[in-house]
Amino acid sequence: MCCQYILLLLLLGVSGGVSAVEVQRPRGVPLSKRQFYEEDKPFTCLDGSRNIPFDRVNDDYCDCQDGSDEPGTAACPNGSFHCTNAGFRPGFIPSSRINDGICDCCDTTDEYNSGAACQNTCRELGRKERESLQKMAEIAKEGFLLKQQLIQEAKRGLEDKKAKYADVQLSKNEFEKRVEALRTVKETAEQPEKEAKERHLKAWEGKLGCESISPSTVCTEHYITDSIVSLINIFLARLSCLDATYNSTAQKARDAFDEAERALREVDDQIKNLEKEISFDFGPTAEFAYLYSQCYELTSSEYIYRLCPFNRVSQKPKYGGSETNLGTWGQWAGPEDNPYSIMKYEHGTGCWQGPNRSTTIKLTCGKETVLTSTSEPSRCEYLMEFTSPAVCQEPSSLDSVLHEHEEL
């Protein structure tokens, strides 16, 4: 018979039970395309290329270029077969796998004429998947509750940072005034020191001078009498004592000024760090803010991987050796509808005769914040998986989750 049909049993939840609905359609046709296959009308190839009599659908001869006339046979090399998989998830397989002796569909419908000893495993697979989905839904629910706490903590943290920023700005003004005042004190204290040094220099130059010696005398220290040298040394000693006093006063002023300048620099650093944190993109509701200044490690058989979110990723040999930078924070790099699902770290240590290392972090929902896996799919390009409650979305009911995995 050219047009082979199957009966699809849709299992629908009704008051905790199930009811069966029979839907007749050509073999290999999904419900979403059932309306294109009407027995009492000519069939139009789905690419619109031609019309053929309906009895040439599933006749094991490929009439349509897109293979749409042979959804249930292996006649078309570019065709696809729809597995109904009642009780599990429906799916598609290449038409070349139809009747090849290997069961690809869990409901065995792809091996209807091969004689393969297949068993229908859809119900068991469906049961396992529902258990898995139930577990995932519970994790999502708990993770989402934790996310709400993270959002509230981030909100409080942002308010604290803004308040601290205002306080630090005020203290900066005070430090700036103190620095300027101490600068004046330092310069005033350094003036006598400067004058004393000049006197000391002139006195030392006078020791070797020739003012008291006749012009015909050779000007060297040898011709200066011992008594003159003694007087000069006494004078120099007194100058040195006076210099020490000036030096001590000036040094104290310098130390106080330097300390005030250091304190001002620290305040400036605080302001820059606070400005960075306040303006940083930690997600739509700052749910990722708790990761800032934290680090997470994963140990493999060879290396210890370290992820410091919004900072850098590194790798260190497990049994000693230097650390390698696998990338510094670049940007959020997820798809347009979910940009906060992927982190990108760039410009790491260069590879030998290769590019600089980089790392992509895929974030998934979890009750805990854990670096779960790492791999190197391409040379010097690393891929890591990281779970966090900050990724969790408000969960749907389990029924709606299951509904997404069933064809209506």
26 or 14, higher pLDDT: 26
Residue 147 · residue 390 · CB < 8 Å: yes
- Each residue's pLDDT tens digit, 316-338: 999 888 999 999 999 999 999 99
- Each residue's pLDDT tens digit, 169-224: 888 888 888 888 888 888 888 787 677 677 767 766 665 444 444 444 444 444 44
β-partners of residue 12 are: 19
User: End-to-end distance of the chain based on CA atoms, in angstroms?
Assistant: 28
Residue 46 · residue 64 · CB < 8 Å: yes
Position 13 confidence tier, pLDDT thresholds 50, 70, 90:
very low
- Each residue's pLDDT tens digit, 349-361: 999 888 999 999 9
Q: At 201, which helix (H) or strand (E)? A: helix 122-207
Q: What percentage of the chain's residues is helix, strand, coil (to nearest 5)? A: 40, 20, 35
381 or 5, higher pLDDT: 381
Instruction: Provide the pLDDT for residue 66.
Output: 95
Task: Tell me if residue 230 falls in helix, strand or coil.
Answer: helix
Kindly report which listed range (114-118, 157-161, 182-186, 209-213) carries the lowest average pLDDT score.
209-213
- Strands of the 381-388 sheet, one edge to the other: 296-299, 303-308, 312-317, 324-332, 342-346, 358-365, 381-388, 370-378
Instruction: Provide the pLDDT for residue 9.
Output: 43
230 or 14, higher pLDDT: 230
What tokens were used for 383?
Answer: 């891929």
Please tell me the distance from the alpha carbon of residue 189 to that of residue 239, in angstroms, as a whole number: 17
Determine the distance from the C-alpha atom of residue 208 to the mean position of all C-alpha atoms in its chain, rounded to a whole number: 73
- Read off the pTM: 0.62
β-partners of residue 324 are: 315
Give Cα separations from 170 to 165, 175, 271 (angstroms). 9, 9, 11
Cα Rg of the chain, angstroms: 42
